[in-house]
Amino acid sequence: MLIKGRNWKFGNDIDTDAIIPARYLNTSDPQDLAKHVMEDADKDFSTKAKAGDIIVAGKNFGCGSSREHAPIAIKAAGIQAVIAKSFARIFYRNSFNIGLPIFESEEASEKIKEGDEIEIDADNGVIKNISKGESYKANPIPPFMQELISADGLVEWTKKKMAAKS
Amino acid sequence: MTITEKILAAHAGKKKVEQGELINAKVDLILANDITAPIAIQEFKKIGAKDVFDRSRIAFIPDHFVPQKDIKAAEQCKLLREFSKEYHLGLYFEVGRMGIEHALLPEQGLVVPGDLVIGADSHTCTYGALGAFSTGVGSTDVASAMATGECWFKVPDSMKFIYYGALNKWVGGKDLILHTIGDIGVDGALYRAMEFEGEVISNLPMYGRLTMCNMAIEAGGKSGIIVPDKVTRKYVKGRAKREFKFYKSDKKAKYVEVREYDCSKIPLTVACPHLPSNTRPAAELFEVTIDQVVIGSCTNGRLEDLREAARVIRGRKVNPNVRMIVIPATQQVYKQAMKEKLIDIFIDAEAVVSTPTCGPCLGGHMGILAKGERALATTNRNFVGRMGHPESEVYLSNPAVAAASAVLGRIAVPEELGL
């Protein structure tokens, strides 16, 4: 899978309240959530960002709450993927469960500048910076996560598991 | 093996597990709330399971936006109520019977030592205080577990924290955990189990242990855990609704890191905006004026927390520039606080006392901050916009510091009131 798009850059420790503030969590409708994505980190983000864009952030992206609304809001806003130096544990898990592609790469997180055109080769774990003509390595996706991706998320994976048992 | 590895191995039907190993394990209890359960219900229906794996092991607790704060929140809560009826869930807690999930479940003996618990709420790590492995997951994880009774885990690395020495006056579990997060950072325990031990922990009452394990997530931890002992036994006696098992870590268990703290050097601690790791001694923050104090939440809304706050504010008045909001975490805490006249003390001090709710902790309702306002709260997070306007500020402290600050209208310590 190739993911190509321009990127928006964020710093370290972007928490789930910044990704989708709790004041909007009286709904779980993805489109409603998408209207407020990243609002407390950048209040204009939902109007600036276009479908197909990529988020690039520093360490510990998605720290805080377990709200699955966070990756859902990002995905529903049309953001294709998130690259970060590291991800908070529950956000990491949620992203694979719902099928939001995420990539850990210290090098990409440091070297990519906002607005650079990025191409991610998901199968080989290579992140290309087209604007700069550079290439960075993403941390390998653990085998079980690959299994979730190829099953199309945890719901489908669970369906298969239950069918196999019965 | 560590206690964490032993509990995970037992639930995966294995003799031994290793750090980093991926396992599928049986869960003893699954919980979700009015924010996370609606997505779990929707995903559960997509799985197409005929029934839930065990109706006595799924707890639905509307606590974040209840009593229902607006129409949308009411619709969310309705989904929980209807699903609970349809599937005959044994652990659905309606308003009037509910409490903040992480205070309610231990109080009611519904989580017990040796359990493996998952919850679609990041503070599910609270139950480690009982010697259980418990961790926050997402709604889809909960949906899958509701269908199968199982969940996938990576066995975490364990990190040990040893607390020794004498605690300073008014210093408790909240200060210990804030100090620890300040030391290691908000990702200092990322993906790891945080095991707390030492003479201070052995003497720490259960409410302080619950506060510490509750905030393990604020250091990025997968779980917080304390090996069960006589304090645990006393707490679960007469409370536990299921059989329990005490696990303990082996002497040769593997820890990726060990940290020791001399508690005589840990002061009353406050986390400043906008990260729980941004800690300072309360005594260095006396110039910080406040508009609101919140005492409550899954971190510090238990009876003993209210007692501490009441000891400080008894016979005094909340500063004219401050709104003080007290939120008992469960109906039982509320009732006992009435019996002990704690509610009288708060109302006489001109504080308001609310029904149990997570409410202001996550900027939901019952005490939202306006632009430029500043709160001192006994809650767990002080991220940008956490309690309201993105340009408001939240400081975090223990209940005694919060109460003293409410009186003086600025960050303060009980000693300043002669206590």
B419 touches A at CB < 8 Å: no
Per-residue pLDDT of B303-349, as tens digits, reads 999 999 999 999 999 999 999 999 999 999 999 999 999 999 999 99
pLDDT of residue B239: 97
State how far the Cα of A133 lies from the Cα of A142, in Å rounded to an integer: 28
Cross-chain residue pair B220–A88, CB shorter than 8 Å: yes
pLDDT at B269 over 90: yes
pLDDT at A142 over 90: no
- For A142, nearest residue in chain B (alpha carbons): B22
pLDDT-based confidence at residue B233 (cuts at 50, 70, 90): very high
Task: For residue A165, give how far its alpha carbon lies from the nearest alpha carbon of chain B (Å).
Answer: 10
How far is CA A53 from its chain centroid?
11
From the list A22, A63, A93, which residue is nearest B187 (CB)? A63
pLDDT at A109 over 90: yes
Cross-chain residue pair B73–A153, CB shorter than 8 Å: no
State how far the Cα of A3 lies from the Cα of A99, in Å rounded to an integer: 14
pLDDT of residue B167: 98
Interface test with B, best of A89, A104, A139, A149 (most B CBs within 10 A): A89
The residue length of chain A stands at 166
Interface test with B, best of A12, A26, A98 (most B CBs within 10 A): A26
Task: For residue B383, give how far its alpha carbon lies from the nearest alpha carbon of chain A (Å).
Answer: 7
Mean per-residue pLDDT for A119-128? 95
Q: Are A102 and A93 in contact (CB under 8 A)?
A: no
- For A65, nearest residue in chain B (alpha carbons): B122
Per-residue pLDDT of B172-181, as tens digits, reads 999 999 999 9
State how far the Cα of B47 lies from the Cα of A158, in Å rounded to an integer: 7
| Both structure tokens of B338 | 């009435």
Task: For residue B191, give how far its alpha carbon lies from the nearest alpha carbon of chain A (Å).
Answer: 6
pLDDT of residue A166: 78
What residues of chain B lie within 8 A of the CB of A109, using their CB?
none
State how far the Cα of B209 lies from the Cα of B201, in Å rounded to an integer: 8
Cross-chain residue pair A86–B69, CB shorter than 8 Å: no
Mean per-residue pLDDT for B387-416? 98
pLDDT-based confidence at residue A146 (cuts at 50, 70, 90): confident
Give the number of C-alpha atoms closer than 13 A to the C-alpha of residue B105, restricted to the C-beta side: 38
**DSSP 3-state percent helix, strand, coil across chain B (nearest 5):** 35, 20, 45
Helix (H) or strand (E) holding A97: helix A89-98
What residues of chain A lie within 8 A of the CB of B385, using their CB?
17-18, 21, 23, 40
Between the CA of residue A60 and those of A78, B184, B227, B261, what are the distances in Å? 22, 13, 28, 25
Task: For residue B49, give how far its alpha carbon lies from the nearest alpha carbon of chain A (Å).
Answer: 8
**Residues pairing with B59 in the sheet:** B31, B91
| Both structure tokens of B132 | 């259980």
Between the CA of residue B302 and those of A52, B271, B395, B404, what are the distances in Å? 47, 20, 20, 18
From the list B49, B122, B388, which residue is nearest A90 (CB)? B122
Per-residue pLDDT of A57-99, as tens digits, reads 999 999 999 999 999 999 999 999 999 999 999 999 999 999 9
B69 touches A at CB < 8 Å: yes
pTM of the full structure: 0.97
B362 touches A at CB < 8 Å: yes
pLDDT of residue A149: 86
What residues of chain A lie within 8 A of the CB of B22, using their CB?
142, 144
Per-residue pLDDT of B373-390, as tens digits, reads 999 999 999 999 999 999
State how far the Cα of B402 lies from the Cα of B387, in Å rounded to an integer: 16
Mean pLDDT, chain B, rounded, equals 98
Cross-chain residue pair A89–B191, CB shorter than 8 Å: yes
Kind of pairing between the strands at B116-120 and B133-136: parallel
Cross-chain residue pair A60–B144, CB shorter than 8 Å: no
Cross-chain residue pair A68–B364, CB shorter than 8 Å: no
List the one residue out of B134, B154, B220 whose CA is nearest residue A89.
B220
From the list A60, A158, A161, which residue is nearest B220 (CB)? A60
pLDDT-based confidence at residue A21 (cuts at 50, 70, 90): very high
Those of residues 320-349 in B touching chain A at CB distance below 8 A are none
pLDDT-based confidence at residue B74 (cuts at 50, 70, 90): very high
Q: Alpha-carbon dihedral of residues A55, A59, A65, A67, nearest 10 degrees?
A: 30
Interface test with A, best of B33, B70, B101, B144 (most A CBs within 10 A): B144
Interface test with A, best of B140, B218, B369 (most A CBs within 10 A): B140
ipTM of predicted assembly, 2 dp: 0.96
Q: Are B140 and B221 in contact (CB under 8 A)?
A: no
Portion of chain A with pLDDT greater than 70, in percent = 100
Give the number of C-alpha atoms closer than 13 A to the C-alpha of residue A102, restricted to the C-beta side: 29
pLDDT-based confidence at residue A143 (cuts at 50, 70, 90): confident
pLDDT of residue B116: 98
